[in-house]
Chain A
Amino acid sequence: MLKRYILFVLFCLVSCITIAAVPDTTKIPVAWKKESVIILDYNYSYKYSYPDSYYADAKKEEKISISYYVRDKWGVEELSQISLPTNIEGAIDENNIGTVYKRDGTTQSITKDQLIPRKEKIDFNASKKGKSLSLESESSQKLAVPSLEIGDILEVHYTTSKAYPPAFITLVNKFPLLHFEADVKIIESNISYNAQSSTIIKTILMNTNEQLDEHNKIHVNISLDSVEKYKEEILNDNNRQIPYVLLKYVSSTHYSTDDYSTSPFDVKGKEFRAGLQLFLARKVYYKGDSYERGIAVQIINTLIKKHPKINDTIAYITDAFYLYRQLIAKEKLYSGLSDYEFKNDVFFSNVLSRVFFEKKIRHQVFIVQSGHYSNQATNYEEFIDPSMGIFIPAQNLYLFNPLYTYDPGNIPPYFEGQPGVSFSGNKYYKDYGAIWRKRPLLSVLLLPFTLTGFLVNQNLADKYRKFDLQEIKLPLTHDDNENRIVYEVNINDINTSDNTVSFERKTSFFGKHKLNETGKICSVSDDYQCEENPYRKMISGSIVPSRMGMNEKSKKRLNNVVESDLYVDGFDVKKLKDFKVVETNFFDKTKPFVHTLNFSAKNLAWAFNNYIILNAGNFIGEQLIVPEKSKDRQQDFYIPYQKQFVVNVTIPVPEGYSVENLNEFNVKKETPAGSFTAEAKLENNKVIIKTKKAYKFSFYMREDASDVYDFLYEAEKYYNKKLILKKL
């Protein structure tokens, strides 16, 4: 007993010494000598206990202690105002939320008085009747540390109850980290976890104990030393690169876990999918059901008229996709449902699965649930925040959410190559629909309760467990040629007196580029949606055909988008004369989205003495520049898909002039990662320049950065080339 007591006293002493001691700066690596701020110590402790009953009973506690070492004036500015969560419950020491260890050896205490709310909100009730709404909520507060100087160490420590599962701890951030220690304890029955390492940190020292006792499901201890800070770099994906610890939360408080948290699988992790699946399904059930059914009926009726016999399934499905978007657009005007409700992937899947069910399509149609690429899932057990689509295996056709993609079958890049699960659309609807069909009266009577619980009996619940889940992997583009943009650029006029050049440009977008461009154009212009959506809401509230041509405001909005794209391409636009979408090919993934534009741009042509100097490199558009800071590469390369940019430029040589330096416009740089090639020739007194830039990778190791940078440098140099024309 005495021994224990002595040990306890010793422990307390050591703890006190640790708290009172000035954080150690001697172990800072030499390589960090130019860092503005270094985190000397980051201690994170998180405890969550959820007793399997009600959300309100959950107990959460998060303790954070961070020591910042301030090295320059920028660091002083940065740390003189630190954002903290709004609901800091208290400091570890009640009145001391932090300490400044001054460089002269003195210390200054930071009290809670120095916390400044970001928003000071008062509801103003003009009428003095009833309560008004609040416009904005407080999201964070700031800690003012005004007396900070270079060389000081600022230690901040506080507890908060804001955090709740899933917990997400980012291990690499904007400051380098000398030492990190996390202790995470989750006492709950339905939880799984995942920790991610990366090229930045190869190994995370992590000790996990999942069986502390019958309740303590997870206890994770992580420690890390000398972690570089996150560096902004081109061609990367920080979700994939930055290590983090993620604790996935399995159950939801919004429905009873008793019925549905039981897994149809026996292995760990799959409960999550089942739980989420049912949660989403039910969401549609109580929120969007009437609209959804209405829309489905309209789609079905229209389809029946259009296709008395279903001979061509793919035509039928694409029509369904097409009509879905039309009718949603119309319905959205009246229903009051938000964009979110309509853009919800589940909504779409439900509608189409109903259509297939009603039409008794016996082809194999699957509902696909897939992860987003940023989730870094390697198999379907790991993904979270899934998205849903429809898959028709016979045609190898994927339809994703039509309000996002505009191009059925063209899988959005963030789902490329991602793992997922599929299950029969017929089966899905059949079972799901059974709830509604078998117990409509009960559903109506118990409607209020459906908001808090999914009221079906155990037999129905059992049916969900019989879904024939199949693991799938969404296809990945392997060829840069599939995702390409082709620019046909004709120079109409070279005017050296005002230094402008007039262009006629036709641009064809293929593959993923097509998705991006169509999405962008459709988001600003009604004109291109008229092709599909013949409805438009008038001020009076009535719905009229929308084919009334584009109004001036829409045109202006669209022109602004096009013009700003040209600025991004490096053109100093003098005048945008014309912009036209000439081919949409919304529903044919083999054909491009095409638009043309006429414009003139400034500062491109100069005449002096017997010469004309043309900034001809500019005609291919500005190229990706490798910033100085990216050269010393920290992260691996990642782009969502391989891609290609083809630019064919035709420059008429002004009468009486010859071309001097055509050869400078012939370059070729090929590496395993990609290529930039350019061929220039003179044909019928026209300079024809053909360039192609190809990214032939999706992932690339940082050790081989030169493979990527070499062809990018070549393109960058090319952009600045000048073409010299000489008077004959």
Chain B
Amino acid sequence: MFNSFPSLLVSLVFLFSTSLGLAQTNKSPDLQQITARFPDDKCLAIDEKVNYTFALVQKGKTKSFIISENYYAHFFTNEDYYSKINSVFYDDQSEITSLKYLVNKIAISSFPVVHTNYESAGIFHDDLKVCAYKMDMVKGKTYEVDYVKAYRDPRLFSKIYFHESYPIHKKTISFEVPEWVELELKPVNFENFSITKKENVLVAKKTKQIIYEIENTEAIPNESHSPSTAKYLPHILVFVKSYNNQKQSQSYFATHDDIYKWCKTLVDSVDNEAESLQAIVQEIKKNETDSFKIMETIFYWVQEHVRYIAFEDGIMGYKPMAAKKVCNMLYGDCKGMANLTKNLLKLAGIDARLTWIGTNDIPYNNDLPILAVYNHMICTALLGGKKYFLDATEDYIAVNDYAERIQGRPVMIENGASYINEKIPYFGYERNKQEDAVEFKLEGNTLKGKGTLTCYGEQKTNFLRGISGLKTENKDLAIKNYLKSGNPNLNITAFSTSNLNERAKPLVINYNYEQTNSAYTTSAKELLILPEKDNDFEHLDFDSTRKNDYEFNNRYFITTTTIVNIPAHYTIKKLPAAVEVKNDDYEFELKYESAAGAVKLVKQIKIKNILLKKARFKQWNADLKQLRDFYHSPLILKTS
């Protein structure tokens, strides 16, 4: 009886909070006012409460520390009919212990719920699961949901958001922290939102209550090129450091060192059976003796042969698959691929370490004692006093080159009982240079020209990755379309590429083209020529409906020179004025220069900051207008 007291307490607390929720809904907030605030949303939550409680629950002979997420929401639709699918995620370290669904305050005793593995694209299991149920909603009725989700491992309970895919009139996130639990909460991105925080001490329960409230949260916009939600939405990072209730105690993550110890224990528990990979290592390195070349060959072998399949949260989010298994199956997630790379390199005599990293989707420093600072794993090779960060999930990347998403990010490198703190080198936008040298002449009203396109960095790896994944029969067509940049007046008549498996050198494409509807002879014997063929970023203007900042795929550095050979008996009459836009985020520089018997169009576009803030949209649109006008303004030649 005594043993079940905590769970009884949890239940009472839950019932209390639920009934509180129900009581509040009786106040009947003005639905018209609420819905008028969100006219484009078909469903909204009038009230949503998430209350976290902490308890030791008896399971067999031992007690387990359980964090319960007690969720309650009151939904409403203004549509005649709306079908809403709700989903709650869980994994091997958490479970949904109860789920209730009420329509017009009457509990629905039986309703269809699907528990399934969460699968987005891959074929392989991970331990993320989803509990999904459907609400068939009509106008005028109320829909209430409450569930309890139990977290068994506080290490995997790390952040809580306020926003959802639907608008919420009022959201409350609360914590009831017993005094025997050491907990720290860190608010993130609160500055642009009106979130109130209250703290109460419940003396009788020896518990501190922390309550956060926010009103009128909009639905998370479903917009392409949005930054990760961690970068802009308010959320709370939760640090459950330890508990000590006299009879039982446990420490979790008090410092970042604890994170390393835990991660290290996990990777050390993997039986890689590395010795069985010796034959493969020999096959890969053959007779090579140069350590750098061996490292390079092994790294590229893993890139080429092991298919990347992402896993999600839970322990499998942190524990790598055994190297031998990855090698046999030829698939793995980042951890599996990093682990295989490390083991192959070690067998080849190279010092290689597993390395934890948060990609640029993660806005936190890695000194926080929380797992959420890491979402990726790579391998670091230590060779000749230098560190090489090897991310085998990045197909076609060379040794010493780093993908945009990991550049400048702090890493935690395995180093026995301790770890090494480092940062991945940060390159400028110049790394992603795309250089096009074009020259054409006029034949009739058709521009006939040739070009040499040279790509570096992300421009190169994105291209190589995209092409390699295509059907062989479609590759030529895809390259032509890439060169056409969506210009219907452009016809690629021939092209050749550099070796499409080459990682260390830039990608080079030589091509010939014909361009129509781009030259006109007027009655005044003037010749109008529109030499621009790519019209980069022309359509990327933002209207008032966009809610999020815009995140580019990567930073850009596009530089094009186009030589326009002036036909005989013509001279320049008028050239479009140069465009020059320069600011911290981007630069546009377009101009015509006169040359002997020719005009040179010089174009440079630099996207220096991957994130374009919404506040900058107006300026961007105005600058883009200049760019667009330049593209569509002809150079005018006259007969000499």
Contact = CB atoms under 8 A, between A and B. Distances in A.
Interface of A: 34-36, 71-77, 80-81, 116, 118-127, 129-136, 142, 144, 146-149, 499, 539, 553, 572, 603, 606, 608-609, 611, 613, 628-629, 658, 660-661, 717, 719-722, 724, 726
Contact of B134 (A72, A131, A135): A135
A606 B633 contact: yes
Given A34-B473, A130-B110, A613-B634, 12 more contacts: A34-B472, A35-B472, A74-B469, A74-B472, A116-B124, A121-B114, A124-B114, A126-B100, A126-B110, A132-B111, A608-B632, A611-B522
> Which of A118, A146, A611, A719 has the most chain B CB within a 10 Å cutoff?
A146
A132 B134 CA distance: 13
B489 interface: yes
Given A120-B116, A124-B115, A611-B528, A146 B307 contact: yes
Nearest to A142: B123
A260 B64 CA distance: 69
B110 A121 contact: no
Interface residues of B, number: 61
Contact of B107 (A36, A121, A127, A148): A127
Given A120-B117, A135-B134, A720-B488, A660 B523 contact: yes
A149 B113 contact: no
Contacts of A135: 112-114, 132-134
A119 B116 contact: yes
Given A35-B472, A660-B522, A123 B488 contact: no
27 contacts: A34-B471, A35-B473, A72-B472, A74-B469, A74-B470, A126-B110, A127-B110, A131-B110, A132-B112, A132-B113, A133-B111, A147-B328, A147-B329, A147-B330, A539-B139, A608-B629, A613-B634, A658-B523, A660-B522, A661-B520, A661-B522, A717-B516, A719-B488, A721-B517, A722-B517, A722-B520, A726-B522
B253 interface: no
B186 interface: no
Contacts of A717: 516
A72 B471 contact: yes
B629 A606 contact: yes
A629 B477 contact: yes
Nearest to A37: B471
Q: Which 7 A-B pairs have the closest CB atoms?
A: A124-B113, A81-B123, A608-B633, A135-B112, A34-B473, A127-B109, A606-B632
Contacts of B636: 609, 611
Contacts of A660: 520, 522-523
A129 B100 CA distance: 13
Contacts of B115: 120-122, 124
Contact of A71 (B331, B472, B539): B472
Interface in B504-540: 516-517, 520, 522-524, 528, 538-539
> Which of B131, B528, B576, B633 has the most chain A CB within a 10 Å cutoff?
B528
B125 A116 contact: yes
Contacts of A36: 471-473
B128 to A, nearest CB: 12
Contacts, number: 149
A608 B517 CA distance: 17
A70 to B, nearest CB: 11
Contacts of B111: 126, 132-133
> Which of B79, B80, B114, B115 has the most chain A CB within a 10 Å cutoff?
B114
Contacts of B125: 116
Nearest to B541: A602
A133 B134 CA distance: 12
Nearest to B633: A608
Contacts of B221: none
Contacts of A127: 107, 109-110
A608 B472 contact: no
Interface string B44-59: 0000000000000000
Given A74-B471, A146-B331, A724-B522, A132 B110 contact: yes
B574 interface: yes
A327 B634 CA distance: 62
Contacts of B305: 149
B98 A126 contact: yes
> Which of A73, A116, A118, A142 has the most chain B CB within a 10 Å cutoff?
A73
Contacts of B538: 603
Contacts of A553: 79
A124 B131 contact: yes
B523 A134 contact: no
A539 B140 contact: yes
A81 B309 CA distance: 12
A132 B331 CA distance: 38
A660 B522 CA distance: 6
A125 B110 CA distance: 6
Contacts of B328: 147
A592 to B, nearest CB: 31
B576 A126 contact: no
A119 B305 CA distance: 29
Given A629-B477, A720-B516, A613 B632 contact: yes
Contact of B99 (A126, A609, A629, A720): A126
A73 B469 contact: yes
A133 B110 contact: yes
A628 B473 CA distance: 12
A225 B134 CA distance: 49
B149 to A, nearest CB: 13
A118 to B, nearest CB: 8
B415 interface: no
Contacts of B356: none
B628 interface: yes
> Which of A35, A126, A553 has the most chain B CB within a 10 Å cutoff?
A126
A175 B523 CA distance: 56
B468 interface: yes
B174 to A, nearest CB: 24
B260 interface: no
Contacts of A628: 477, 480
Contacts of B14: none
A75 B468 CA distance: 11
A722 B529 CA distance: 12
A147 B327 CA distance: 9
A448 B139 CA distance: 37
B299 interface: no
Interface in B95-142: 96, 98-101, 107, 109-117, 119, 123-125, 131-134, 138-140
B123 A136 contact: no
B576 A608 contact: yes
B392 to A, nearest CB: 16
A120 B128 CA distance: 12
Nearest to B326: A146
A80 B523 CA distance: 63
A71 B123 CA distance: 21
Interface in B293-307: 305, 307
Contacts of A720: 488-489, 516-517
B99 A129 contact: no
Contacts of A658: 523
Interface string B361-394: 0000000000000000000000000000000000
Interface in B441-475: 468-473
Contacts of A120: 115-117
B119 to A, nearest CB: 8
A126 B101 contact: yes
A123 B112 contact: yes
A120 B129 CA distance: 10
B3 to A, nearest CB: 23
A658 B488 CA distance: 27
A130 B108 CA distance: 12
Interface string B179-217: 000000000000000000000000000000000000000
A314 B636 CA distance: 66
> Which of B115, B139, B471, B538 has the most chain A CB within a 10 Å cutoff?
B471
B167 to A, nearest CB: 17
